[in-house]
Amino acid sequence: MGYVKKYLKGFREFAMRGNVMDLAIGVMIGGAFSQIVSSVVNDLVMPLIGLLLGRVNLAGLFIALDGKHYASAADAAAAGAGVFNYGSFITKVIDFVLMALVIYGFVTIVKSISPKRKEEPKPEPRLCPYCKDAVDIDATRCPHCTSYLVDDLPDDIGESLGLDD
């Protein structure tokens, strides 16, 4: 029973973290935004494309795989025929492209508005005086040549090693 409580407590801490909550809010807003873009595609863009193509309902284009002619994809499916809904696929591709364009535009606008962050310059690497390889800033010995880094040793260690001047 203690394991379950510990597990649930850990899950609650994970789920209530700021990043997870921000992600959840972003997913919900993204879903609502997706519906708006789908409406723009289905209710505005596709009718215009259909009008340009000679009053064709692009989303309703299909091929019945049994070779017969049906008034709609729903009629073909009701008759038990396999349906190749290429018009629906084209609509979804246009929906995706428009969504990607809008998101790209939004990200570009946010980037241009947000203040530019200056990157701090990286400090020069500390070099071993003997082998000239990079050494961690807190190291007392070089991991490459195992030399003591005499300049950085505390006095008591230097004395015990006989490195006293």
At 114 the pLDDT is 79
Residue 55 covered by a domain: yes
139 and 92 together in one domain: no
pTM: 0.50
User: What three-state secondary structure class fits 83?
Assistant: strand
33 and 95 together in one domain: yes
108 and 131 together in one domain: no
Residue 81 covered by a domain: yes
Residues 6+ apart with CB under 8 A from 158: 150, 164
- The CATH number for 46's domain is 1.10.1200.120
27 and 89 together in one domain: yes
Residue 118 covered by a domain: no
Confidence bin at 103 (pLDDT 50/70/90): confident
Of 20-24, 47-51, 114-118, 161-165, minimum mean pLDDT range: 161-165
Q: Percent helix, strand and coil across the chain, each rounded to 5?
A: 60, 5, 35
Confidence bin at 67 (pLDDT 50/70/90): confident
| Model confidence pLDDT, tens digit, residues 6-21 | 888 887 777 666 677 7
Range of the domain at 156: 126-160
Confidence bin at 127 (pLDDT 50/70/90): confident
69 and 139 together in one domain: no
61 and 138 together in one domain: no
8 and 59 together in one domain: yes
Whether the predicted pLDDT of 156 surpasses 80: no
